Structure 1
Amino acid sequence: MAEETIEVTATETTETTEDTAAEQPQIASSLTAQEREVIANMPYEEARDKLMQAVRALENGGLSLDESMRQWEIGEALAQRAQSLLNTVRAKLDAAQAQQAQTAATAGTQSNLQ
């Protein structure tokens, strides 16, 4: 069976993303600063897909200890990125729901005419 490992490479994206690298705790890692930067700017779907590939590579086995550790570190970084993006979306949804509830509560009252 061929070994499948994930390499993090820069991909061009036109989507602007929030800087989530600052939110992530920094641990000793074999990932380069450039690789961490690439992951920190990945859109959710790409991070999720690469995370699934890293998990498959680990589950398939056949990797050396160093290769396994690298895949694990890549997977951890990708999971943190995806979770950070999900947290951002959750916060936006919560804010929109709160605004909608506030608007509904004052609809048709004198307070919204002032």
Structure 2
Amino acid sequence: MAETTQADVKKLSFERAMEELESIVKRLEDGKVPLEESVAIYERGEALKRRCEELLRQAEARVDKITTDASGQPTGTEPLDVQ
């Protein structure tokens, strides 16, 4: 089952993985999930978290490529307003 879970998670978009991860967190916080199921959904949550982190790293790398020239110097882009 773990292999199926991993393969399934690797196909998810960032948004879908985050949505499912948020759902898992809510279920676990509610505390009404049986122990065995809690462990299983916690494991899936960990896989989803890793998928989100992977997709964020990929997006960062793409942005870095866009904002640097061939020698690695910034290409005159402005810092993002993160407020």
- TM class by shorter-chain length? 0.7 to 0.9
CA distance in 2, matches of 1:59, 1:53: 10
**CA displacement, residues 45-71 of structure 1 (integer Å, 9 cap, x when unaligned):** 000000000000000111121111111
The answer to whether structure 1 residue 101 and structure 2 residue 71 are counterparts is no
CA distance in 1, matches of 2:50, 2:9: 9
What corresponds to 1:4 in structure 2? none
The answer to whether structure 1 residue 32 and structure 2 residue 2 are counterparts is yes
Which of 5, 10, 24 matches 1:54? 24
CA distance in 1, matches of 2:14, 2:59: 11
- Number of paired residues? 73
CA distance in 1, matches of 2:74, 2:34: 54
What corresponds to 1:87 in structure 2? 57
Question: Unpaired segments of 5 or more residues in structure 2?
Answer: 77-83
Runs of 4+ more than 3 Å apart:
none
Shift of 1:96: 1.2
Pairwise CA RMSD of aligned residues? Answer: 1.6
Shift of 1:101: 2.9
Structure showing greater radius of gyration is 1
Give the TM-score of the pair, scaled to structure 1: 0.59
Identity of aligned residues (%): 29
Question: Unpaired segments of 5 or more residues in structure 1?
Answer: 1-30, 105-114
